[in-house]
A and B are shown apart, each in its own frame.
Chain A
């Protein structure tokens, strides 16, 4: 694979968990990058970070630890932008 693979563990701090608003925001941002994006709960199969239906399957509550993996030519920018969304303490809903 060209580019590089970057990985980051992120704890969900939003009391509402990773609900549909952050997920759609995440997918919209992920779609802007060429890199492949995946997200998984510890010890579970990675889920395509550009699939809203897939990510809804995470059911990540407050305190859940997710591993974000980004692989491609714009991985550095992508992992920063995507981490920011996952780390937000609140999202309107």
Chain B
């Protein structure tokens, strides 16, 4: 599984407007909706599910990165999006530091293996300091996509 297989290119944002946990999650899911995902009230339901997951424990896993996620019947395959915040957002992360890189994942309900492999893939890239540095500095959707593609060729 490659990150380019599940990240929806048209939904990538390099300039998050939101500066709260809920605001970031809403904005990222809206970006996916605008890219053609989720029907009817599904996007609001996905927002609620991702926020509910955050109440169980933050997905801010340190090093300025968070991976908010949920499983939802509104998708039939794993979809993800990437968003960057210039100022950083308080996200109750394990290390208490603000988050600059957000990778949101929505998995189908009954595919735990795909979800685990996506987490494996994302975490492998995020352990690469130079990738994280370059991603944080990316200013266009195309440059983020280019970094994801380069990373796949290197791994």
A interface with B by C-beta (< 8 Å): 15-21, 24-25, 27-28, 52-54, 56-62, 92-93
A19 touches B122 (CB 8 A): no
What CA separation (Å) do A68 and B71 show in the bound complex? 28
With contact pairs A17-B112, A19-B112 given, residues A24 and B120 touching in the complex (Cβ less than 8 Å): no
Name the CB-closest residue of B to A62.
Answer: B112
Chain B residues bordering chain A, tally (CB within 8 A): 26
What CA separation (Å) do A46 and B117 show in the bound complex? 18
Indicate whether B148 reaches chain A with its CB closer than 8 angstroms: no
Interface-side segment among B32-40, B77-85, B123-131, B135-143: B123-131
Indicate whether B67 reaches chain A with its CB closer than 8 angstroms: yes
Residues of A close to B71: CB separation below 8 A: 93
A57 touches B127 (CB 8 A): yes
A57 touches B113 (CB 8 A): no
What CA separation (Å) do A27 and B62 show in the bound complex? 12
